[in-house]
């Protein structure tokens, strides 16, 4: 059974940083695309960043230059480093995975099979 568990969310002031982690179990780390999504109240879930088996990364324009996605295949953990955070980054953040050689772009929640339960990130001005 595939299980994704996020951690690292919290509250931070604008300009601050957070690191999200997603621990993966029951999932074969090969030919995969993994991503971070976020959803603010009243808004659709949006893809923030993605990474595939080969380490190719993708970022939404709204986070490019501020967020970094990475993966530790040995630890089966996905990370999202968030710097220079803004109030508009406030949302529930989810990690997701799908067995696919490359990520289909732009990231769409419809393309992902496995999801974590989410972790809340709040950025105050």
The tokens 């957070």 sit on which residue?
A: 18
pLDDT at residue 94, as a whole number? 98
pLDDT of 54: 86
**What is the mean pLDDT, run by run of 10 residues, along the chain of 125 residues?**
95 98 86 94 96 93 97 92 98 95 92 97 97
Tell whether the torsion through CA atoms of 8, 14, 17 and 23 is positive or negative: positive
Quote the pLDDT of residue 6: 97
pLDDT, residue 73, reads 85
**What is the reported pLDDT for 114?**
95
Residue closest to 90 by CA, chosen among 23, 43, 50: 43
Q: In what order do the strands lie in the sheet with 18-25?
A: 3-7, 18-25, 77-82, 67-72
Instruction: Please tell me the predicted confidence (pLDDT) of residue 102.
Output: 86
DSSP 111: G
| Termini Cα distance of the chain | 40
Q: Say what the pLDDT of residue 30 is.
A: 74
59-64-68-73 Cα dihedral, nearest 10 degrees: 20
pLDDT of residue 111: 95
């Amino acid at each position: 059974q595939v299980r994704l568990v996020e951690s690292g969310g919290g509250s931070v002031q604008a300009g601050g940083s957070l690191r999200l982690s997603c621990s993966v179990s029951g999932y074969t780390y090969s030919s995969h695309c993994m991503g971070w999504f976020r959803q603010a109240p009243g808004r659709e879930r949006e893809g923030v960043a993605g990474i595939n088996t080969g380490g190719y990364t993708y970022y939404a324009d709204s986070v490019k230059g501020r967020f970094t996605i990475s993966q530790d295949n040995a630890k089966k953990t996905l990370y999202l480093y968030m710097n220079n955070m803004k109030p508009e980054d406030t949302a529930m953040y989810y990690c997701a995975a799908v067995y696919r050689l490359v990520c289909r772009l732009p990231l769409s929640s419809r393309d992902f099979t496995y999801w974590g339960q989410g972790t809340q990130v709040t950025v105050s001005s």
